[in-house]
Structure formats: structure tokens, C-alpha cells
Amino acid sequence: MSQSTGEAESLVTYELRGTVALIGLNRPAKRNAISDRFVEAIADAVTRASSEAKAGVIFGHGPHFCAGLDLSEHSEKPLFEAVKGSRRWHAVFDLIERGTIPFVSALTGATVGGGFELAASTQIRVADGTAFFALPEGQRGIFVGGGGSVRIARLIGPARMGDMMLTGRVLNATGMEAWGGVTYVAEDGKALDKAVEIAERMAQNAEFTNYAIINALPRIADMSSEDGLFTESMVASLATMTDDAKARLRDFLEKRAAKVQAPGGS
């Protein structure tokens, strides 16, 4: 069933499809540009998804995923309001990147500025041939404020991110896949279907393992090798202790679980 999410009704659509929550950015007339109310609507939808779904998909209604920050609202903001606004984006996108369930973004058309920052907070990015990626902050006289200097820089490297910001370079889906910013390239018009398919697959994993993947991996990436290896041992041992792990391991050993398939299904 498709529903609005509370107060900021029209800005975000929400549908729980089985165990997957579909969150639709719904301001197509403004190319899904993210205003302050829009950030709160995303927060509500992500919080709801995290409480009742096992995976989530974020997509854009209309041809564009998201044209980034709402520049009309931003241009009016005093300094401290701009700081608080950016910190709110960080908090909300953190609910996606280091929450309790994994998210996939389905990227079409403009995936620009804050739109790319939103996509970078999801664990998996699926883009079709209409998608294009840009960081026009340099041209606009502003700077990334939605976590891009951390998340996008880690995905594609600070040198490439700097290139995009300094020169206005625009990449398509295959170019961004080669740079590491896109995880899957889908057929045109199929980004959402592919994202849902991936989310459904992730939703079948053990919940604790999904939680450990999305929370431990980025933290371990911030640690020294020594600290990372120690933390890995702790997380691995905790995961093995869950009833879910015990049941799944028994299922495999007693030949009830699917085997790993070689690519091509043979």
C-alpha cells in the first residue's frame, strides 16, 4: 500500500511491499530538490522503514532522482541556520548509512549535488542510462554540505570528487560505475525494478548480519588495521552467537539451504 508520511505528506511517498520499504522523493516539478521540510519527510520515511521493513529503496518520482539542495531556500539562510541545516542533513543521512536496515538508491536523471550525497549514504546505488552525476557547488559558490566530502570522497576518491567540483565535470552511469560511485548499471527505465530486486535479496539475510555490515564496515574503514581486525573478530563472534546464525548454519550443513551459485547459474 502506498501512503504519505505524516505532515510533509506530498514530498515523500511510502510503500511497504512485503519486507521492502519503497521511499519515493516526490517533488518532480522542482526536480526533487531537497528543502528543509523535505529532509524531515525523508527522516520520517527512513525511520518508519527501519522499524517495519528489512531493506529500503529510495527513488525519485519523475525523470530525475534529485537536483540536490533547494537553492531558493538556501540562498535566504543566515550563516548559523546554514550550519544547522547541514548538520541536520548529516543526521538524517546517517540514519540511512548507519541505521538498522540496508538501503538501495535507484538513480535516474539528475543525481546532482545533495542528490548524489543522498545516494552516497545508501549502501547500494543502481543507475540507469538516463542518470547523470555532477557536483555543481563550485559554479553555485557553495560547498557540499550533505556529507559528500566524506561519503562521495570515500567512494570515488577525493581527487575525482575535486575534479567534479572544480571543473563541473558530469558523468553518466557507466562513467560513475568505473569510478566506484555506482554499484549496478540497469537497463534504461529499470533502475527501480533492479533496486527492488536487490533490496528483496538483502531482506532475506540475517538481520544482525545486515546490521553488522552497514555499521561495522564504514567504522572499520576509519580505524587502523590493528583496531579494525580486533573489531572484526568481535563483530564476527557476536554474529555467530545469534539464533539466526545457528539455524542458518545448521540448514546449510543439513542440506536445506541454497548453495552459492557460480555466475550464469551453472
Exactly one of 57, 67, 120, 150 binds ligand 1HE (CB under 6 A); that residue is: 67
Q: How do 55-60 and 103-107 pair as beta strands? A: parallel
16, three cell numbers: 511497504
Nearer to ligand 1HE, 48 or 64 (CB): 64
From the CB of residue 106, how many other CB atoms can be counted at a distance below 10 Å?
Answer: 30
Rounded to the nearest whole angstrom, what is the least distance from the CB of residue 46 to ligand 1HE in the complex?
17
Provide the angle, in degrees to the nearest 10, between the axes of the packed helices 158-167 and 148-156. 110
Nearer to ligand 1HE, 69 or 182 (CB): 69
Exactly one of 101, 110, 120, 191 binds ligand 1HE (CB under 6 A); that residue is: 110
Residues 146/151/156/160 CA torsion (nearest 10 deg): 40
Exactly one of 45, 113, 155, 196 binds ligand 1HE (CB under 6 A); that residue is: 113
Site for ligand 1HE in 122-181 (CB under 6 A): 136-137, 140, 142, 144-146
Q: Does 72 bind ligand 1HE (CB under 6 A)?
A: yes
Number of residues that bind ligand 1HE (CB under 6 A): 23
Dist CA 153 CA 176 (whole Å):
13
Long-range contacts of 153-160 (CB under 8 A, 24+ apart): 154/221, 155/120, 155/179, 155/180, 155/181, 156/180, 156/181
Exactly one of 112, 124, 127, 161 binds ligand 1HE (CB under 6 A); that residue is: 112
Contact code string over 24-43 relative to ligand 1HE, x by CB under 6 A: ------xx-x----------
- Which residues in 227-263 are b (16+ Cβ under 10 Å) and which e? ebeeeeeebeeebeeeeeeeebeeeeeeeeeeeeeee
- Which sequence positions are flagged as catalytic? 117, 137
Dist CA 76 CA 141 (whole Å):
14
Rounded to the nearest whole angstrom, what is the least distance from the CB of residue 174 to ligand 1HE in the complex?
19
Rounded to the nearest whole angstrom, what is the least distance from the CB of residue 135 to ligand 1HE in the complex?
7
Single out the segment in contact with ligand 1HE by CB under 6 A; choices: 5-13, 65-73, 187-195, 255-263.
65-73
Contacting residues toward ligand 1HE, per CB under 6 A: 30-31, 33, 64, 67-72, 86, 89, 110, 112-114, 136-137, 140, 142, 144-146
